Amino acid sequence: MKFAEMAAFPNVYENFDVGRPVLHTAGKEVEMAGRWAEGHFGNNNPITLELACGRGEYTLGLARMYPDRNFIGVDIKGARIWKGAHIALEEGLPNAAFLRTRIELLEQFFQAGEIAEIWITFPDPFLRNSKSNRRLTSPKFLETYQRLLPSGGKVHLKTDSPELYEFSLETLEAVPEIQILAQNSDIYAGDLPLPELALKTYYENMHLADGKTIKYLCFRWAGE
């Protein structure tokens, strides 16, 4: 039922075949690369991606906080995206949209420089070393982000995983062109450096209830 409903949602775009990078929305096949601002949002406001968006709490929170910016939550789990997209429609949030696809395919659906900023919120840390290349701060994903972002575009990571946090720091420090703008191993131990960090997802609330600390990284490519 949810998947049938979501197929008709005008704020959801889905890729059904990883071998064929085509998007579908509201029963239509569409080409969106380079057209998100005009083709969906109807304005030229900057676009932020939330990767591993889950139920879309962060996408929704950011859209409410910054009505003059556009936000797209990205995840592969349709049942989760349905929740966020449904709330966005109920609340009438025109600056919140959702993309159901594998994050590895992002460059099929966005042009270089089309994204102003990226948030990665509580992604799967893939703790096994054999799966380290699936972590969203691994080198192959960093290369994708660099191509999608314009000069000065920032990437934010929010996680409860000490392993992912340390891995991310090591990976970023190994790239001379990357400038780490902020790193914090316990954001709630003091004043929050950004108001956006006060937004909490379903999973973050669970982590906090379990006594975990929340970590934050912000970085960009220096000299760009």
pLDDT of residue 172: 97
Q: Distance from CA of residue 4 to its chain's centroid?
A: 24
CATH number assigned to the domain with residue range 2-221, chosen from the 4 options 3.10.129.10, 3.40.50.720, 3.40.50.150, 3.30.470.10? 3.40.50.150
Residues assigned a catalytic role: 124
How many angstroms separate the CA atoms of 83 and 57, rounded?
9
pLDDT tens-digit readout, 54-69? 999 999 999 999 999 9
Q: How far apart are the C-alpha atoms of 49 and 110, rounded to whole Å?
A: 11
**36-41: average pLDDT:** 96
Residue 4 makes CB contacts below 8 A (sequence gap 6+) with none
pLDDT attached to residue 1: 62
pLDDT band at residue 203, thresholds of 50, 70 and 90?
Answer: confident
- Confidence class for position 189, pLDDT limits 50, 70, 90: very high
pLDDT confidence of residue 85: 96
Split at pLDDT 50, 70, 90, the class of 3 is confident
The alpha helices in the chain, defined as continuous H runs, are: 2-8, 57-65, 78-91, 106-109, 139-148, 162-173, 202-209
Tell me the C-alpha distance between 142 and 174, whole Å.
Answer: 12
Give the predicted TM-score (pTM) of the model.
0.95
